[in-house]
Amino acid sequence: MKRIGVFICWCGSNIGGVVDVPGVAAEIAGISGVLCSTDYKYMCSEPGQDKIIKAIKDDHLDRIVVASCSPRLHETTFRKVLERAGLNPYMLEMANIREHCSWVHASDKEAATQKAIALIKRAVAKVSQLEPLFASHIPVTKRTLVVGGGIAGMQAALDIADAGQEVLLLEREPTIGGKMAMLDKTFPTLDCSA
């Protein structure tokens, strides 16, 4: 039997101002396999994360759905939460009910709420099918190539080299310095550029 926890975020008023979040949580609680369905103002905050960890431990959850913003923003955050609670971090599925829902359907709250429910149902279906995944490990060559020897490349090269790491600074022109070396005085201090 899968033991699923669903955590729905308000993102302040970003989601909560459009989607009926407590209503969605109640609806999702009725899905088979969902042992816990709850909401919170900011799920990514420390109290929000602690709420997830506590639920994982109390209800012995083995897979988690977080319905919040885009995974591009917080997938790593919530994977770490699972890890801290002792779960495989890849037993997480996110439902994007902000960018894909509340932000684009702000004028139709009822439809947005229905869409949020559908998106979370999708995530619950996916999370039921997930299996633990394990990262592989690769070595690191401790040497950096900087492409371009203008002010940006020179500064990056110097900062890396000052930390004791080897740098190759590649420049297509015969000299380094780039556009900066062509300049006279530079604002706002009017000191020289070379």
Partner 1 sequence: MVAAAQHPQIKLLTYCELDEVNGYIGNFTVSIRQKSRYVDHDKCTGCGTCWEKCPSKITSEYDQGLGTRKAIYVNFPQAVPNKPVIDAANCRMLNSGKCGICQKVCPTQAVDFEQEDSIFPESVGAIVVATGFDLLAWDKVYGEYGYGKYPDVITGLQFERMSNASGPTGGKIVRPSDGKEPKNVVFIKCVGSRDESKGKEYCSRTCCMYTAKHAHQVLEKISDSQAFVFYMDVRTPGKAYEEFYQRSVQEGAQYIRGRVSKIYLKGNRLIVKAADTLLGRPVEVEADMVVLATAMIPSEGHAELAQTVGITVDKDGFFQEAHPKLRPVETNTAGVFLAGNCQGPKDIPDTVAQSGSAASKVLALMSQDELSMDPMISNIDEEFCSGCLSCQAVCPYRAIQPETVTYRQGGQTMERTVAAVNSGLCQGCGACTVVCRSGAANLKGFSNEQLLAEVNAICR
Residue numbers 84-143 binding partner 1 by CB under 8 A = 90, 118-119, 121-126, 128-130, 133-143
Q: Which of residues 13-42 bind partner 1 (CB under 8 A)?
A: none
73 binds partner 1 (CB under 8 A): yes
Q: In whole angstroms, what is the distance from residue 174 CA to residue 76 CA?
A: 43
Q: Nearest distance from residue 58's CB to partner 1, in Å?
A: 26
Residue 9, C-beta contacts closer than 8 angstroms, at least 6 positions apart: 15, 21, 39, 40, 41, 42, 43, 44, 48, 66, 67, 68, 69, 97
Q: Does 156 bind partner 1 (CB under 8 A)?
A: yes
Q: Which of 1, 30, 46, 187 binds partner 1 (CB under 8 A)?
A: 187
Nearest distance in Å: CB 175, partner 1: 4
Nearer to partner 1, 30 or 134 (CB): 134
Residue 44 near partner 1 by CB under 8 A: no
